[in-house]
Amino acid sequence: MSEPDWLVEGRPHLWRPYCQMKTANPALPVVATRAARLVLDDGRELVDGIASWWTACWGYNHPHIAAAVEAQLRTMPHVMFGGLSHEPANRLATRLAKLLPGDLDHVFLAESGSVSVEIAMKMALQFHINRGVKGRTRFLAFRGGYHGDTLATMTVCDPDEGMHSLFAGAMPQQLIGDLPRDADSTAALEALVAAHAHELAAIIVEPLVQGAGGMLFHPPEVLRTLRRIADDHGLLLILDEIFTGFGRTGTMFAMEQAGIVPDVATLSKALTGGTMPLSAAVARRPVFEAFWSDDAGAALMHGPTYMAHALACAAANASLDLFEGGGWRDQVARVSAGLEAGLGPCREMKGVRDVRVLGAIGVVELERVDDLEALRRAFLAHHVWVRPLGRVVYLTPSFTISDADLAQLTGAVRAVVAGL
């Protein structure tokens, strides 16, 4: 079957993500989505195992979200947020403040997840400046961490094993440590922070799961330790819930499993149910109060052009309607059980290092992968869309995926891994 004209004509002009354009395989032409499936131009359907980079938690084309966006489009698609406001953003901020634990009450709405992390970092830097504390300009981040692709977020990603290793040595230097998983690593981290506390503004971490760094899990106790260390040294704690937020780990937010409240939380991905770009950096009351002043220079000087985008806020409010229904908990539990049952047999297969499941996240970590593109093509042969992170094969399907589609995904993983 010939390729569609739009694909042929656009190919020389589109710069695609995370690939060497000279050698990359052609992108697959998607013409429609429905439920948990991608429909290709040639009529094939692929079960989406990663929910469009973890965003489409309700599957595709959910009628409630679509109706909310259509209604908002007829009324007001967008208006600048400088000096103006609108109902979708106000309602969303109010609802997020009620959903998040503790006094995470102050919501700054932006576009992408990377931007929300940039804003959180900017908040942390200026928090200390506004309080008259000088020299706190660095961030403590962790090996295996990933927080975005913009310049500042790259500085708090894993500098050696992450996708930004090319820039190691060329970025402003932050402090990289190991997560405090046991007594020895906790003591090492405490010593590291004690030596550098005078120059640290904040600690930043992905709670429970380091996503793009390899779907690396850690227990809730790690987060409680980081909260204590931050408090001991007057540092802010930033939790990057962009991947883990909105039910993915089995609770609405991963932080709930640790029983802690960060100083700033970043949200995105599933915030709009996978329909539109939107993110939020949500601060606790003491952080916000450091900017509350008669001095105009103490304000947070940040304002993305499309911040608080009305269409995206309408989509997010509709998605929160679905969460408020409560059925997502049973859906995530069903998906989790299906992932465990379907991927569990891989533990006995040659070349498998680990199999792990948390909420609606299933991971098969391989010992090695010699040809990543061949591995990806093998999944296409089973009519599933799975994009391994190096030697980490993972599934993060929509919460509403059917049992049959989930079984097709896990069956494909078993077959492909066995074929290795």
Average pLDDT over residues 22-50: 96
More confident site: 74 or 159: 74
The torsion region of residue 82 among left (phi > 0), alpha (psi -120 to 50) and beta comes to beta
Q: How confident is the model at residue 247 (pLDDT cuts 50, 70, 90)?
A: very high
In the residue annotation, 269 being an active-site residue is answered as yes
- What is the Cα–Cα distance from 414 to 398, expressed in whole angstroms? 20
Q: Is 250 annotated as a binding residue?
A: no
Candidate from 144-153, 264-273, 327-336, 346-355 with smallest mean pLDDT:
144-153
Q: What is the pLDDT of residue 172?
A: 65
| Residue 321 neighbours by CB under 8 Å, 6+ apart | 64
pTM above 0.75, yes or no: yes
More confident site: 26 or 410: 410
Q: What stretch(es) of the chain map to CATH 3.90.1150.10?
A: 5-61+327-419
Instruction: Assess whether pLDDT exceeds 60 at residue 63.
Output: yes
Candidate from 63-72, 142-151, 202-211 with smallest mean pLDDT:
142-151
Q: How confident is the model at residue 131 (pLDDT cuts 50, 70, 90)?
A: very high
Q: What is the pLDDT of residue 155?
A: 86
Q: What is the pLDDT of residue 159?
A: 79
Q: What is the pLDDT of residue 193?
A: 98
Q: Does domain 76-325 have CATH number 3.40.640.10?
A: yes
Average pLDDT over residues 196-217: 97
* Residue tagged active-site, from 48, 269, 394, 405: 269
Instruction: Assess whether pLDDT exceeds 70 at residue 367.
Output: yes
- What is the Cα–Cα distance from 342 to 337, expressed in whole angstroms? 8
* Residue tagged active-site, from 5, 18, 134, 160: 18
Instruction: Assess whether pLDDT exceeds 80 at residue 167.
Output: no
- What is the Cα–Cα distance from 303 to 290, expressed in whole angstroms? 18
Q: What is the pLDDT of residue 177?
A: 96
Q: Is 231 annotated as a binding residue?
A: no
Q: Is 58 annotated as a binding residue?
A: no
Q: What is the pLDDT of residue 127?
A: 97
The torsion region of residue 359 among left (phi > 0), alpha (psi -120 to 50) and beta comes to left
* Residue tagged active-site, from 146, 263, 394, 405: 146
Candidate from 62-66, 158-162, 180-184, 265-269 with smallest mean pLDDT:
158-162
Q: What stretch(es) of the chain map to CATH 3.40.640.10?
A: 76-325
Q: How confident is the model at residue 171 (pLDDT cuts 50, 70, 90)?
A: low
Q: Is 306 annotated as a binding residue?
A: no
CATH superfamily of 5-61+327-419: Aspartate Aminotransferase, domain 1 (3.90.1150.10)
Say whether 57 sits in a helix, a strand or coil: coil
* Pick from 176, 155, 178, 177: nearest CA to 167: 155
In the residue annotation, 146 being an active-site residue is answered as yes
Buried b (16+ CB within 10 A) or exposed e, 219-236: ebebbebbbebbeebebb
- What is the Cα–Cα distance from 379 to 357, expressed in whole angstroms? 20
Q: How confident is the model at residue 156 (pLDDT cuts 50, 70, 90)?
A: confident
- What is the Cα–Cα distance from 100 to 104, expressed in whole angstroms? 6
Average pLDDT over residues 257-273: 98
- What is the Cα–Cα distance from 312 to 24, expressed in whole angstroms? 32
Q: What is the pLDDT of residue 33?
A: 98
E-assigned strand segments in 148-197: 175-177
Q: How confident is the model at residue 162 (pLDDT cuts 50, 70, 90)?
A: low
Average pLDDT over residues 110-126: 96
Q: What is the pLDDT of residue 150?
A: 86
Q: What is the pLDDT of residue 166?
A: 61
Instruction: Assess whether pLDDT exceeds 60 at residue 170.
Output: no
Candidate from 102-116, 145-159, 282-296 with smallest mean pLDDT:
145-159
Q: What is the pLDDT of residue 158?
A: 81
In the residue annotation, 60 being an active-site residue is answered as no
Q: Is 325 annotated as a binding residue?
A: no
Q: Is 113 annotated as a binding residue?
A: yes
Q: How confident is the model at residue 212 (pLDDT cuts 50, 70, 90)?
A: very high
According to DSSP H, which parts of 211-250 are helical? 220-232
Q: What is the pLDDT of residue 179?
A: 97
Say whether 195 sits in a helix, a strand or coil: helix
* Residue tagged active-site, from 48, 158, 240, 263: 240
